[in-house]
Amino acid sequence: MDLVTRMVIVDVVRGYVPASPGAEMEDFEGGITNDLLELARTVSPASGALFRYGGKDLYHLFPSEQPVPPKSTFQRGASDAVAVSAGPRQWKP
């Protein structure tokens, strides 16, 4: 367990390697995660599970699935910046 993030780390060293990051892998990880979190609760509550495959994360196996961080379109110091609230047709200059 990573004591900082409270995540249980699962390293699948041999055996199952997902063919794709789809429903089959989600079912595999989900079933294990539920059981692990229930067991961990008796010792030290965990916030979730982090899966590794042979010590590598999912994005090592499927690099094309790596999420691309969004680019900010906000320009710092822009004089015409507007804050928009979630309400309908409400805005503040």
Q: What is the pLDDT of residues 16-65, one digit of tens each?
A: 777 777 888 888 888 889 998 888 888 888 888 888 888 888 878 777 77
pLDDT of 87: 52
pLDDT of 70: 75
* 68-80 average pLDDT score: 64
How many Å apart are CA 49 and CA 67, to the nearest integer?
19
Q: Could you tell me if 48 and 37 are in contact, meaning their C-beta atoms sit under 8 angstroms apart?
A: yes
How many Å apart are CA 29 and CA 7, to the nearest integer?
14
Q: Is the pLDDT of residue 79 over 80?
A: no
